[in-house]
Structure 1
Amino acid sequence: MLNCGDGGTDPSELIDDTDFSIELAFINHGTPSQDSALIAAADRWMSIVQGDLGDVDFSSTPVAANTCGEGVQNPEVSGTVDDLRIFIDIRPLDGPAGTLGQAGFCQIRSSSHLPVLGFMSFDSDDLGPIEQSGDFGALALHEMGHVLGVGTLWPDSDTLLVNPSLPSR
């Protein structure tokens, strides 16, 4: 597993427990620049999301392997997660010119109903052109938003702007 922003240092040495943290767990790595874009996306979301969520301890009730996303071969989760762990899986999905990526949560907190475990899968057959066009970072940021609940946990998303805070132009 790789803690965002470093090469694998113990997260307790890097994370201020008052800040939101995202841990990326690479099942299959992409190119070095793709991995860097994923780390940058996590860093960006950590700068946006304010506050710390309580750790979740899976020691007594582990999450089984291979249960986090369609086709994602995640390891069993039996330790503590602070605040969100995302399994990253870069592999062939549906061939060229199909689905670029898919993401979501696979475990939510019982108290707040916010994600604690999630997955992001990217089609390795499509990433070359996306990376060359400079759009992989935006794709990573977008898919990570789904893990955080954007568009996946909001049942009434069509009413989010009923009373916008900015005047119309």
Structure 2
Amino acid sequence: MSFPLLNCGDGGTDPSELIADTNFSIELAFINHGTPSQDSALIAAADRWMSIVQGDLGDVDFSSTPVAANTCGEGVQNPEVSGTVDDLRIFIDIRPLDGPAGTLGQAGFCQMRTSSHLPVLGFMSFDSDDLGPIEQSGDFGALALHEMGHVLGVGTLWPDSDTLLVNPSLPSSLSADTHFRGAAAIAAFNAAGGTAYTGGEKVPVENLL
């Protein structure tokens, strides 16, 4: 089942201009909470991404063009969005989906800005029946960080990924030098402290699923 990908206006910020001394904001909107420790892991993941992403995007005002309820992710019962979003709102839905050992969940964005094509609304949906073992193994924090990256557009919003993503590894291949060679991505990686990176070509991309 697919869901609509809609566009909305913003202040016209160019992604290449986002390295600045301003703050990027991620708002987590819990539709269904997990355990306190699961919620804390998701909040920690948002804090981590906010410390990584440099720059501020223009607020998006949905007052004149509200986003309908239940349109952000398959099965996600998000409320109507009719106010202002700064910079990214992620709906969190932790509930039984298809039982243990089935679909763990899904994550992505459902609303993009028209000019910069960067996400403004997204979702993260997890099967509560599957999270117990992952949490007990200590891996849920890493999973939350990984999936939130997809909402931000990492791996899901890469134009020309057939030429810019080099050595994609599926299935997992630790020996592959998987990297993204977009010029703006390399510049941002260097600006974030990656100038001296010698582990392979830039920008390194996770190749272990």
Moved over 3 A (4+): 1-17, 158-167
- CA gap of 1:79–1:28, structure 2 versus 1, over 3 A, is same
Partner of 2:148: 144
Tell me, yes or no, if the aligned pair for 2:124 and 2:148 is still in contact at 8 Å. yes
Unmatched runs of 5 consecutive residues or more in structure 1: none
- Per the TM alignment, residue 22 of structure 1 is displaced from its structure 2 partner at its CA by 0.2
- CA gap of 1:83–1:144, structure 2 versus 1, over 3 A, is same
| Distance across 2 between alignment mates of 1:45 and 1:14 | 15
Tell me, yes or no, if the aligned pair for 2:11 and 2:57 is still in contact at 8 Å. no
TM-score if structure 1 supplies the norm length? 0.84
Tell me, yes or no, if the aligned pair for 2:103 and 2:127 is still in contact at 8 Å. yes
Tell me, yes or no, if the aligned pair for 2:15 and 2:116 is still in contact at 8 Å. no
- Per the TM alignment, residue 92 of structure 1 is displaced from its structure 2 partner at its CA by 1.3
- Per the TM alignment, residue 17 of structure 1 is displaced from its structure 2 partner at its CA by 9.4
| Distance across 2 between alignment mates of 1:42 and 1:125 | 23
Tell me, yes or no, if the aligned pair for 1:65 and 1:73 is still in contact at 8 Å. yes
Partner of 1:127: 131
- CA gap of 1:95–1:153, structure 2 versus 1, over 3 A, is same
Tell whether 2:48 aligns with 1:44.
Answer: yes
User: Which of 63, 68, 71 is 1:67 aligned to?
Assistant: 71
Unmatched runs of 5 consecutive residues or more in structure 2: 172-209
| Distance across 2 between alignment mates of 1:35 and 1:166 | 30
**Count of residues paired in the alignment:** 167
* Deviations 1:2-59, CA, capped at 9 Å, x for gaps: 9999999999999999200100000000000000000000011111110000000000
- CA gap of 1:9–1:49, structure 2 versus 1, over 3 A, is closer
Structure with the greater alpha carbon radius of gyration: 2
- Per the TM alignment, residue 98 of structure 1 is displaced from its structure 2 partner at its CA by 1.9
| Distance across 2 between alignment mates of 1:132 and 1:110 | 41
